[in-house]
Amino acid sequence: MGLKHLLEKEVSDDFPEELKKKRIKKVEDKLKSIEEVSAALFDSATGRNGRDPSVSAQIFFLKNKGKEAGNPWADIQQVENSINLSNVLENANTRIIEGKKVETIEKKEPFLLKDNDSSQDN
């Protein structure tokens, strides 16, 4: 996600100039912090920070940053659904034509009604 995308999401041309400046500063600060943490994670994963490379940082980096480059280590969940609307409509039409009864729910009176007679005590 780049600066341009974030700015389009956060700043509208209709905003007053002062609000635009505040929002742009907020986006720039957000991007800067992401870059700093990303660099620190990379340094930890590769040992550039003067310590032994961190296996946990390596795994985290590969699972989360790797998906951007098509890395096979990326932890991606992909769900694919395939619905054939033609079949759905055909099945519904068949049920209507054949006259199969479809279970319906009858509308009943609400069970939480104020009892007007209870306010009158004899």
Span 2-20, pLDDT tens digits: 556 666 666 667 777 888 7
CB 11 within 8 Å of CB 24 = yes
Please give the Cα distance from 27 to 47 (Å, whole number).
30
Ranges of each domain in the chain: 3-69
Span 101-121, pLDDT tens digits: 656 666 666 655 555 555 455
Please give the Cα distance from 30 to 71 (Å, whole number).
26
Contacts with 60 (C-beta within 8 Å, 6 or more apart), sequence order: 41, 45
Span 34-82, pLDDT tens digits: 889 989 999 999 999 899 999 999 888 887 775 666 667 777 666 778 8
